Structure 1
Amino acid sequence: GLVIPYIGALVYMLFRPPEYLEDVRERELEIKAMEERLSRRDLYCPVCRAEVSNEFLVCPVCTTKLKQACVNCKAPLEALWQVCPYCETPVEPSAVDFPTFEVRPPRRRRRAE
């Protein structure tokens, strides 16, 4: 009489399903939601956070330059592209304007008298 209840638990542990269908569906929904969130990641202006389209060259709200246009076909280009994938035109790297500072000689200190 003492062995019979333990046999049922042992059989259940050997033949139980590794995952429940509800857990599998829930995990798939979570993965799908994460993929959607990641795909929408770059659809905001980095300056004003306004929603922008993938084809925009500038932000319509704050006029921040988002992408460079191809000189031949005017298609929007990604920053790392070296060739336009639409018309095979080589892309010139965009020059970044760094602020220039005036170099002055160091001031001489007055003597304390």
Structure 2
Amino acid sequence: MSSVTGSVDCYCGRRVVVRTSWTDLNPGRRFNSCRDYNKGGCRYFEWEDPPMCRRAWMIIPGLLRKKNALEMEILNLKCSNKKLMKVVFFLLFCVFDMHLGDLGNEEA
């Protein structure tokens, strides 16, 4: 995710963008860079935020990993839920079909 800042220009003469680092060494730390930093741009780079304190540096990566694991678990549970709903609807259809079959036999 990136956004354009107001007044800083990179070496290309264009406005820099603010990006967020999610590495273990700088989790959540914002920096300014050339728009084309990862595509062979001028390689302008400057930290927007000061370095994090040691405690935050130690805690945040673990929290991010836990968040990602929980999001993956949610996706897996949603997938399982969809499968279970299909089974439930199939079983309801079978029961309903059997009931209609019994009604047809009673009329004959």
Do these two structures clear the TM 0.5 threshold for a shared fold by scoring above it? no
Greater share of residues in helix: 2
TM-score of the pair, normalised by structure 2: 0.33
TM-score of the pair, normalised by structure 1: 0.32
